[in-house]
Amino acid sequence: MHRLDLINKLILKNNYKTYLEIGVSDGHTFDKILATNKIGVDPDCDVYKISWNGKGDVRCLTSDSFFEELDKDIKFDIIFIDGLHLSDQVFRDIKNSLLHLNENGIIVVHDCSPSQKENATTYNNYGIWNGTVYIGYIEASLTYKLDYSTVNTDFGCGLIRYKNIDLNSEKVNISDDWNYFNDNRESLLNLISVNEFENIYLK
C-alpha cells in the first residue's frame, strides 16, 4: 500500500478535515490528499509552485520555522511527516506535531523501516534515501511513551496516535548501529502488516 492510500483511508475512516504535510516536494502526495483543509511546508517550495505549477497552500519554510510561527491553538486531524530525513529533525517534527494534533488525530511518518543500510545514511544519497528517520521516530516514541505502530509498506509508515505529552520527559537515545536496528526491527518499530493496519485502524 502506498503512503497516499494509507493516509486517504485514515482520512475517510475518521472523517478528518485538516491535514498538514511536512516536506511536500512536487506535491504528488499532497495534491491527491482528500482532506478539505490542507497546508504543506517545504523550504524548497519552488519545486511545487514553479516547476509543477502547484496551486495548493504550500508554505516556503522549514518545519521548525513553521511550528515556531504557528498559533498554539491551531490543531490538525492528521499530520504527515516526510521532511528532512535526519533523526534529530524527525524527533522535533514529531514533538511539534503532537502539540498541534487534535485529540482523535494521528501522525503518519514516512521512511521508518529502511530495508537497506545503504539507504539509512546521515547524508542524502540522492537515490532511495530513508535517512535516519527510524532513529528519531523510535526515540520520540520511547521518550514520550507513544501509542505507535509501523505499517510494513512503502519503506515503513509510522502511525502515532494523539497523546498529551510531557515536554520535560528525559530524551531516550537508541544505538545508531545498523545491525542492532535490523535484528530488533519488529519490536523497535511495533511492525504490523497491511492487513493488521486495516483491522486495527480502519474497522
Ligand X SMILES: C[S@@+](CC[C@H](N)C(=O)[O-])C[C@H]1O[C@@H](n2cnc3c(N)ncnc32)[C@H](O)[C@@H]1O
Interface residue list for ligand X (CB under 6 A): 3, 21-25, 28-29, 41-44, 62-63, 82-84
Minimal distance in Å, beta carbon 71 to ligand X?
19
Instruction: Supply the minimum distance, in Å, between the C-beta of residue 116 and ligand X.
Output: 17
- Residue closest to ligand X (Cβ): 23
Nearer to ligand X, 42 or 139 (CB): 42
Buried b (16+ CB within 10 A) or exposed e, 154-178: bbbbbbbbbeebeeeeeeeebeeee
Q: E-assigned strands of 30-185?
A: 37-41, 58-59, 76-81, 101-109, 148-151, 157-161
* Smaller CB separation from ligand X, 21 or 77: 21
Beta-strand runs (E) in 82-190: 101-109, 148-151, 157-161
Write the CA distances from 90 to 100, 108, 131, integer angstroms: 15, 12, 10
Query: How far is it, in rounded angstroms, from Cα 2 to Cα 6?
Result: 6
Q: 26 or 186: whose CB is closer to ligand X? A: 26
The CB-of-164 to ligand X minimum distance in angstroms stands at 25
Instruction: Return the number of other C-beta atoms located less than 10 Å from residue 45's C-beta.
Output: 18
C-beta of 53 vs 104, nearer to ligand X: 53
Task: Give least dist CB 25 to ligand X, A.
Answer: 4
3-state secondary structure of 12: helix
Which residue number, 82 or 139, has a Cβ lying nearer to ligand X? 82
Minimum distance from residue 186 beta carbon to ligand X (Å)? 25
